[in-house]
């Protein structure tokens, strides 16, 4: 019996009908019970620093600060790097809106860039060209010459778990004395040049939202190598508290992760290698299914690194996208369009931007596919076979 024929016999789990759901079958319940037994459910408790150490190790970096969300992590990283009112920050238009919201929360404006066609990450050739034409160094600062505004940072996004070309971006950033704050919401496990992708940025913001490769329920982290900068991130995310006598060094945020969230995160990160291998297995199943199909590209590893395969997706001709989605939906498979570009979103319609051919194309072509780590062998085969048939010859 083919996987397609088995369809009616397959009990539909949410892993087939959603894009990514958590697998909480490790030590999660035990660690949560420990939080309750010790009365440590809030921001005090041992799981937070244990989680931070594990996140730093997985990032191949010395420091991590756990936060209440990935958005909070991005925001506090930008504030720590001095991004402020009136600044511009380079952001790709093809991303989740949180990347730009973090810039907006600093009082700054995203300078929206197109992504490259094959891997949907910041287009480095375009970046070089736009900087050559529109950015000049004045008194040690990069200035956007058409508006006279300071360019304060470059914020590449590791879209869908695919690493941006960080070595090339870091080289350009160094030339203009700019920090690189990577949105690595889904990038744990991605590499560039054989190293963790987190190593190549000034700071990286991670997300542990429920749909990420590992989750803490809600949560995030900032990872980096510079102890002074990470110290500032920690201070800014914990009300800049100086000791126990209600002294606070600066106006700051309460972006702390709780012990309960970190307890889930600790149980999850113990199984990171297993989850990453599961993501790779899902990617391989889709790859085999999509190979050789007309006008179809699977989003996979770029030449400069390896994807963490957080979200698997195929790109089809725009005129076929609706049909492929309908066919998958008719089989009970929760495939979706993915990420309406930021320059089409009301808050960012007037942001300065480049041409946007590939970001717009991505919205019309990407079909994101169920990518949960809990998918079984037979579910993966079922998904692959339905993808093959939905794509047609």
Ligand X SMILES: Cc1ncc(COP(=O)(O)O)c(C=O)c1O
Query: Where along the sequence are the contacts to ligand X (CB under 6 A)?
Result: 69-71, 95-96, 98-99, 157, 183, 185-186, 207, 209, 220
The answer to whether the beta carbons of residues 64 and 56 sit under 8 Å apart is yes
Backbone angles phi, psi at 343, to 5 degrees: -70, -10
Distance CA 250, CA 375 (A): 47
Token duo for residue 265: 């995160």
Q: 249-260 b/e with 16+ CB inside 10 Å = b?
A: eeebbebbbbbb
Residue nearest to ligand X (CB): 70
Q: Which residues touch 52 (CB under 8 Å, ≥6 apart)?
A: 64, 65, 66, 221, 262
Which of 186, 263 has the CB closer to ligand X? 186
221 close to 56: Cβ distance less than 8 angstroms: no
CB of 189 to ligand X, least distance (A): 15
Structure tokens at 101: 């919201």
Least distance to ligand X, CB of residue 390, Å: 25
Q: Which is nearer to ligand X, 155 or 278 (CB)?
A: 155
- Whose tokens are 């408790």? That residue is 45
Angle at 65 between CA 61 and CA 181, to 5 degrees: 70
Residue 341 Cβ vs ligand X, minimum distance, rounded to whole Å: 13
Closest approach of Cβ 72 to ligand X, in Å? 7
Give the list of residues 6+ apart from residue 218 with CB closer than 8 angstroms, or none.
68, 69, 208, 209, 210, 261
Six token digits for residue 201: 């940025």
| Choice between 70 and 189, CB closer to ligand X | 70
Whichever of 143 and 283 has its CB closer to ligand X, that residue is: 283
Kindly tell me which of 101 and 374 has the beta carbon lying closer to ligand X: 101
Q: How far is the CB of 191 from ligand X (least distance, A)?
A: 18
What φ, ψ does residue 157 adopt, rounded to 5°?
-120, 135
Whichever of 32 and 72 has its CB closer to ligand X, that residue is 72
- β partners of residue 182: 204
What are φ and ψ of residue 5, in 5° steps?
A: -65, -25
**214 contacts: CB under 8 Å, gap ≥ 6:** 188, 208, 265, 268, 269, 271, 272, 275
Q: Which is nearer to ligand X, 209 or 237 (CB)?
A: 209
Q: What is the rounded CA–CA span in Å between residue 271 and residue 188?
A: 13
End-to-end CA distance of the chain: 21
Tokens of 147: 């508006």
Instruction: Look up residue 373 and give its two tokens.
Output: 């780590």
Q: In whole angstroms, how close is the CB of 269 to ligand X at the nearest point?
A: 16
**Which of 272, 288 has the CB closer to ligand X?**
272
Q: Min. distance of Cβ 353 from ligand X in angstroms?
A: 18
How far apart CA 334 and CA 14 sit, in angstroms, is 9
Please identify which residue in the block is written with the tokens 């960080």. Answer: 166
Minimum CB distance to ligand X, residue 361 (Å): 18
CB of 70 to ligand X, least distance (A): 3
Minimal distance in Å, beta carbon 253 to ligand X? 14
Backbone phi, psi, residue 382, to 5°? -60, -50
19 or 151: CB nearest ligand X? 19
Residue nearer to ligand X on the CB measure, 69 or 202 = 69
């Amino acid at each position: 019996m083919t996987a397609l024929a088995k369809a009616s016999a397959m009990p539909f789990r949410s892993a087939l009908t959603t894009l990514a759901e958590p697998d909480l079958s490790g030590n999660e319940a035990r660690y949560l019970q420990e939080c309750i037994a010790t009365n440590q459910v809030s921001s005090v408790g041992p799981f937070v620093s244990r989680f931070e150490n594990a996140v730093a190790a997985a990032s191949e970096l010395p420091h991590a600060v756990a936060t209440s969300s990935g958005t909070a992590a991005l925001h506090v990283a930008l504030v720590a790097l001095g991004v402020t009112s009136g600044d511009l920050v380079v952001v790709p238009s093809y991303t989740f809106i949180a990347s730009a919201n973090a810039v907006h929360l600093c009082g700054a404006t995203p300078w929206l860039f197109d992504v490259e066609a094959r891997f949907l990450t910041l287009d480095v050739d375009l970046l070089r060209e736009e900087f050559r034409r529109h950015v000049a160094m004045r008194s040690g600062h990069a200035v956007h010459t058409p508006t006279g505004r300071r360019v304060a940072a470059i914020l590449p996004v590791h879209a869908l778990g695919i690493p941006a070309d960080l070595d090339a971006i870091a080289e350009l950033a160094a030339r203009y004395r700019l920090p690189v704050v990577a949105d690595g919401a889904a990038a744990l496990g991605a590499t560039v040049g054989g190293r963790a992708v987190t190593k190549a940025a000034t700071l990286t913001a991670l997300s542990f939202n429920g749909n990420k490769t590992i989750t803490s329920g809600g949560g995030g982290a900032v990872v980096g190598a510079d102890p002074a900068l990470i110290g500032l991130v920690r201070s800014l995310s914990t009300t800049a508290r100086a000791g126990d006598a209600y002294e606070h060094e600066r106006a700051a945020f309460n972006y702390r992760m709780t012990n309960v969230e970190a307890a889930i995160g600790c149980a999850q990160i113990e199984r990171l290698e297993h989850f990453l291998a599961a993501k790779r297995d899902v990617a391989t199943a889709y790859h085999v299914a999509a190979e050789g199909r007309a006008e179809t590209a699977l989003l996979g590893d770029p030449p400069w690194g390896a994807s963490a395969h957080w979200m698997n997706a195929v790109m089809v001709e725009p005129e076929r996208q609706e049909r492929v989605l309908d066919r998958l939906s008719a089989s009970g498979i929760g495939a979706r369009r993915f990420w309406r570009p930021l320059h089409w979103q009301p808050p960012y319609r007037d942001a300065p931007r480049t041409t946007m051919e590939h970001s717009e194309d991505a919205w019309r072509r990407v079909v994101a596919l169920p990518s949960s780590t809990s998918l079984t062998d037979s579910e993966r085969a079922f998904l692959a076979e339905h993808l093959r048939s939905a794509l047609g010859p």
